[in-house]
Amino acid sequence: MEENVVLTARGITMTFPGVKALENVDFTLRKGEIHALMGENGAGKSTLIKCLTGINDFEAGEIHVDGISGPVKNHSTKDAQEVGISTVYQEVNLCPNLSVAENLFIGREPMTKFHTVDRRSYNKRSQKIMDELGIAVDVTQNLENYSLAIQQMVAIARAVDMDCKVLILDEPTSSLDDEEVEKLFTLMRSLRDKGVGIIFVTHFLEQVYAVCDRITVLRDGQLVGEYPIADLPRVKLVAAMMGKNLDDLAEIQKESIEDVSRNPLEISAKGLSHTGTIKPFDLDIHKGEVVGIAGLLGSGRSELARAIYGADRASSGTLSVGGKEVKIKEPIDAMNLGMGMLPDDRKAEGIIGDLSVRENIILALQAKRGMFNLLSRAKQEEIAARYIDLVQIKTADQETLVKQLSGGNQQKVILARWLATDPDFLILDEPTRGIDVGTKSEIQKMIVKLAGEGKSILFISSEIAEMLRTCNRMAIMRDGEKVGELDHDLTQENVMKAIAGGEGTK
Amino acid sequence: MKKDSFWKRVTGWSLFLPVVSLLLVMAVNIIHDIAVGANPLSFFMITLRQTTGNGTILYGRIIDILNRGSEVAILAIGMTLVVSSSAGTDISVGSVMSLCASFCCMLLAGYGVSSATTLACPLIVGILAGILLGVICGMFNGTLVAYFGIQPMVATLILYSAARAIGLLLCNDLIVYVRNGTFGIFGGFLGVIPTPVVIAAICILVMTLVLKKTALGMYIQSVGINGRASRIAGLNSKRIIFLTYMLCGLFAGIAGIVASSRITSADSNNIGLYFEMDAILAVALGGNSLGGGKFNLAGSIIGAYTIQAITTTLYALGVSSTQAPVFKAVIVILIVAIQAPPLKAYMKRRNMAKQVKGAA
Amino acid sequence: MGKKTKLNGHTILLLITIALFIVLYAGGCIAYGSKGFTHLQTFLNILITNAGLICVTCGLTIVMLTAGIDISVGALIAMDCMILAVGMRSGMNAIVMVLIVLLIGVAFGMFQGFLVGYLEIQPFIVTMAGMFFCRGMTAVICTDQVSITQQTSAMFYAWANAKINIPFGGYINSKGKYMVPYIRPSVVIALLLLILTFIMLRHTKLGRSFYAIGGNAVSAAMMGLNVKQIKMKAYMLSSIFCSIGAICYCLNTMAGSVSQALGLEMDAISSAVIGGTLLTGGVGNVLGSFFGVLINGTISSIVKTNGKLASSWPNILTAALLFLFIVIQSVFAMLRNRKK
């Protein structure tokens, strides 16, 4: 093993039924570096990490860890922890019904001389750990009493406290706000300085350049290359990930956005609210208009959309669709008024994993037709084929289970589901999150195209740039409240300023 | 692409497990018949036989299995839907059967009467009231599961322990006999065919048609796989779960009437005893995941008759009815253990290792 | 945030359970005071009758904490009792028989736990098969009722009839004789087991692991807990506790028969649920389950004392209570979700 190297993986190969998830992949992590692992969806990042942490059993290859002679083969996360590899996953992997302190210490609790757990001791130590990290929690409270962001920080605190040599952060920032991300970065840098090797997986390019020293890029289960950060500017990184030069994004940007403010109103919300999540707001959307919702995570941007769609029943206010006042109790009511919603949580609220692509596509249309009005099988296949072609879903055939598709293709299936219902008004909540750059640009193009056909679209995204490319107008959200709208001078800077708020300079 | 081997296609068939188990049971019967020197095909023999009442009926072991398995088959229909939509089981069906039977017989005989030869109310009223009570029980379960979000097993635990007791109360702690020829028909014979077989066939047929001609099947599976996503896609998840429990109650009611008619009485303590177990078993044996989602009705039905075949075979082998559960238990464990994902994964790994070795 | 422990939904539920028990018991005292319900002995009798159930419920609570279920307990009791009875009839020493029964508990629990933990088969199915197996096995051992008498085992007979007197709370009966309140050894066993389980769940690594895998098994595995093994241990404990319960149960009934302890698993489950254990796992404690058993026992006792009520009333009332409690639980859960 070379000097300074803390972890090497050589020739890792792993197959899932029908797919070569990893093929002869090498990876090297040095002491005291933050190493970004990049790739599109389906590139094999998660699989590689699962091989390192013992969740996946790889078929060929070797992993070496500093200080351990011979190849390491982990069979469980416990094995991995014992050789010094700790992981914090995207989903918080803690027990909500236990206290914060217990979550930090479970499996390695200090014991009293009576062989019982020494609660007082680990409560004290936990409080110290959390205080040092600047996380304001009462460690004796149950974890479920805290926000997702705090839970995430607890997960990281746990990994940090395990004295790991290798810390794997698998999209840890997706549920954190800017301030918390910065806090995490500070922590990552200080750990790096202590000599910990950190593998950082994220979809946010900015974050990679903010904190990483080195980048390894994977594509289609194969290694593209390993680069020092200075040698790989953004454009090159995207090119390495995509495997092709991409001018599509720029192409959309150039398109001029026509004025649609004189078109008739499609949606008009007055004083709509949902107790506890979103304060009363007014919102008008014209036919053929794309309205963006900009705001930080947790600012109420998803909740606004959910209140319109009836995913959360509005507790006050009125909603008019096409000029007529309507009552929406359940999503089906909204659908019957010509709405559709692509929710932000694809796994939990989007796909029906065990159903086929065909069934997933026709589901909403079938729901609209009602239980006793079954679409014939031939008709179903025709519709599915049409939309698979239209949104370019990459699937073996219609009967493939949707859970077997990659994230981006799953997202397209849901998009196809809504297009099949021919909606007048479509809500797209983070349609591009967690999917590859190529699919992103396809979806953005699709949005512009749909608007051109006279459909109204509510577009929510955490990437301001992509909203700038597609939206006519943007509503600004802050702390569960709609604080304003921008309809001219749509620039990144203006939007950021609006989100950050008037008086507070940032 | 390489074509899957014949063996792989067969084992991948959704009805593989239930059919193989049924064939196994038949094989045991044939081997037993050969061993005792009987006609090896006596298991499959169907003959016409004179009854004491001067009627002619079909007779044979297969007929017996079809006949006795009717209640479980009827229950299995509802149970399949419940398992699929809610990833839980309705453990109250056996008790609900008993309650429906008690209510029906109580209406037919009159309250407090332990044995009646003349009916206190029209037969059809009693029967329908009994079935309706089943539906109501199903609605009760459905409300708890769908609208209160209570775990299915716990929600149905209430009626599991209460329904039988309420039935006893309705019958004034008596075994109510309805000694009227017409009531016995549902558990007797329709011409040469046992009526329960006909009733089960009708139930299966109707349900199959409903699943074929409406989107119910897709709705149920969709809700079972991902309830939240189904709601966003416009399905009323709660109402669909409620509906499956209601249907399950309906079928429990029908099964209760059949079971009661068989013995022309309402024996609250014994009607439907352990039937919930058989029904759940039928669903599992049918190759359905008890974790909900996709379902296969045909599998459950075959599963139901397989269970009856096992029971009948055990009796034929001289095992007493109280001892029979031992064998059922062993069979259940074998079936589910074979299907267990960790075991499958282990086998696959071994096969793969073999292939790698072979290739090298 | 203060250091004070906040009253959360679960604590409130436990308080409701305890309050309900007190109200029920007080109601019984007022209504049937003349029939001796107020005597300490009535309460002690509830403990004596339900000693076995307390043991079983302790084990079941553990299993339920891991989000599992064990419905084999009633049948296992029947099998254990039958083994005790038949063994002693054939002249085996009582202590040996007790050890055999405990060993059977270990082995049986280990097998069930293996199927649930390592083969990942649904607990309901595994323990349902276990229930079939035990019930059938009881019949295979002997189809008749086998009694344990002084002749078959003097030692066991002595245990069953041993009284542990309580120095207070006695009363003078109608014949003017002072009745000393007493408990049986089975009560001591049950209460000891209860206390041990309480300590185990609260203060040991294993106990906390049960809560952890009930809260989120995937996370628990990620945090390095051996989920499979812990699950197996839960089922082992359940079967061992159940076998201990079977001994207590047998000390009361002094017999083995196929139909013994029929439906006892439901009593145990309802006790645990009434006591605030969630079947979704991760929440609950044995103290609540203990009060659940007491509530069930009090209802039976009231119905028995009344004498005129139909035998099915305890079942119906328990079910009604179960209904009440799970609805309250679900309302609490809904309120909490809404707050989020």
Q: Running along chain C, 340 residues long, what does each successive block of 10 average in pLDDT?
A: 50 86 92 84 92 96 94 95 94 93 97 94 87 93 91 90 86 82 93 96 93 90 87 97 96 91 87 87 91 93 85 86 84 69
CB-based contact, A102 to chain C, within 8 Å: yes
Cβ–Cβ gap A98/C215 under 8 Å: yes
pLDDT of residue A381: 95
Compare CB distances from B157 to C136, C313, C322 and report the shortest one's residue.
C322
CB-based contact, B294 to chain A, within 8 Å: yes
Smallest CA–CA separation between B235 and chain A, in Å? 6
- Looking at the DSSP bridge assignments, the partners of residue A484 are A476
Domains of chain A by start residue, with CATH: 5-249 (3.40.50.300), 263-338+424-506 (3.40.50.300), 349-422 (no CATH)
Q: In which element (H, E) is residue A69 found?
A: none
Task: Please state the ipTM of this predicted complex.
Answer: 0.84
Bridge pairing between strands A60-65 and A425-429 = unpaired
- Looking at the DSSP bridge assignments, the partners of residue A267 are A285, A321
Q: With bands split at pLDDT 50, 70 and 90, how would you rate the model's confidence at A164?
A: confident
CB-based contact, A117 to chain C, within 8 Å: yes
Answer yes or no: is pLDDT of B112 > 50.
yes
pLDDT of residue A504: 37
**Binding partners of C (≥3 Cβ pairs within 8 A):** A, B
CB-based contact, C324 to chain B, within 8 Å: no
Nearest CA in chain C to B323: C136
Q: Are A221 and A48 in contact (CB under 8 A)?
A: no
Q: In chain A, what residues touch C283 (CB-CB under 8 Å)?
A: 97
pLDDT tens digits for range A337-356: 999 999 988 888 999 999 99
Mean pLDDT computed over A464-481 = 84
Smallest CA–CA separation between C313 and chain A, in Å? 37
Degrees, nearest 5: CA angle C70-B92-B130: 165
State percent of chain A over pLDDT 90.
33
- Looking at the DSSP bridge assignments, the partners of residue A35 are A199, A214
Q: Are A416 and A391 in contact (CB under 8 A)?
A: yes
pLDDT of residue B290: 80
Of the residues A20, A342, A355, the best mutation for testing chain B's interface (the one with the most B CB atoms within 10 Å of its CB) is A355
Give me B324's structure tokens. Answer: 């029979």
CB-based contact, A311 to chain B, within 8 Å: yes
Structure-model confidence comparison of residues C102 and A196, the more confident one: C102
Smallest CA–CA separation between A97 and chain C, in Å? 5
CB-based contact, B218 to chain A, within 8 Å: yes
pTM above 0.90, yes or no: no
Nearest CA in chain B to C139: B323
What is the spatial distance between Cα C178 and Cα C166, in angstroms, rounded to a whole number? 13
Structure-model confidence comparison of residues A501 and A417, the more confident one: A417
Q: Are A309 and A278 in contact (CB under 8 A)?
A: no
What is the spatial distance between Cα C317 and Cα C326, in angstroms, rounded to a whole number? 14
Q: In chain C, what residues touch A96 (CB-CB under 8 Å)?
A: 215-216, 282
What is the spatial distance between Cα A255 and Cα A272, in angstroms, rounded to a whole number? 33
Compare CB distances from C212 to A76, A106, A158 and report the shortest one's residue.
A106
Q: In chain A, what residues touch C5 (CB-CB under 8 Å)?
A: 140
Compare CB distances from A106 to C5, C203, C225 and report the shortest one's residue.
C225
Q: In chain B, what residues touch A377 (CB-CB under 8 Å)?
A: none
Of the residues C197, C208, C209, C228, the best mutation for testing chain A's interface (the one with the most A CB atoms within 10 Å of its CB) is C208
Q: Are A360 and A301 in contact (CB under 8 A)?
A: no
Smallest CA–CA separation between C276 and chain A, in Å? 14
Compare CB distances from C204 to A92, A98, A117 and report the shortest one's residue.
A117
Q: In chain A, what residues touch B219 (CB-CB under 8 Å)?
A: 367, 371
pLDDT of residue A245: 43
Compare CB distances from C223 to A96, A106, A111 and report the shortest one's residue.
A106
Q: In chain C, what residues touch B341 (CB-CB under 8 Å)?
A: 120
Q: In chain A, what residues touch B293 (CB-CB under 8 Å)?
A: 354
CB-based contact, A96 to chain C, within 8 Å: yes
Q: With bands split at pLDDT 50, 70 and 90, how would you rate the model's confidence at A76?
A: confident
Q: B6-319 has which fold?
A: ABC transporter involved in vitamin B12 uptake, BtuC (1.10.3470)
Q: In chain A, what residues touch B345 (CB-CB under 8 Å)?
A: none
- Within 8 A by CB and 6+ apart from C167, the residues are none
- Looking at the DSSP bridge assignments, the partners of residue A457 are A290, A426
Mean pLDDT computed over B274-281 = 87
Nearest CA in chain C to B342: C119
Q: With bands split at pLDDT 50, 70 and 90, how would you rate the model's confidence at A305?
A: very high
Backbone angles phi, psi at B172, to 5 degrees: 55, 40
User: Per-residue b/e over A348-380, b at no fewer than 16 CB within 10 Å?
Assistant: ebbbbbbbbbbbbbbbbbbbbeebeebbeeeeb
Cβ–Cβ gap B341/C315 under 8 Å: no
CB-based contact, A171 to chain C, within 8 Å: no
pLDDT tens digits for range B290-340: 888 899 999 999 999 999 998 888 888 888 888 888 888 887 788 778 777
Q: In chain A, what residues touch C224 (CB-CB under 8 Å)?
A: 76-78, 81, 107-108
Compare CB distances from C128 to B164, B277, B323 and report the shortest one's residue.
B277
Domain residues of chain B, as ranges?
A: 6-319
pLDDT tens digits for range A224-277: 999 999 988 877 777 777 665 444 454 555 455 667 777 888 899 999 998 877
Give me A110's structure tokens. Answer: 């200090």
Answer yes or no: is pLDDT of A297 > 70.
no
Cβ–Cβ gap B221/A354 under 8 Å: yes
pLDDT of residue A219: 82
Compare CB distances from B329 to C121, C124, C133 and report the shortest one's residue.
C133
pLDDT tens digits for range B198-223: 999 999 999 999 999 999 999 999 99
Domains of chain C by start residue, with CATH: 16-25+36-306+313-319 (1.10.3470)
Degrees, nearest 5: CA angle A11-A406-B226: 130
pLDDT of residue A236: 77
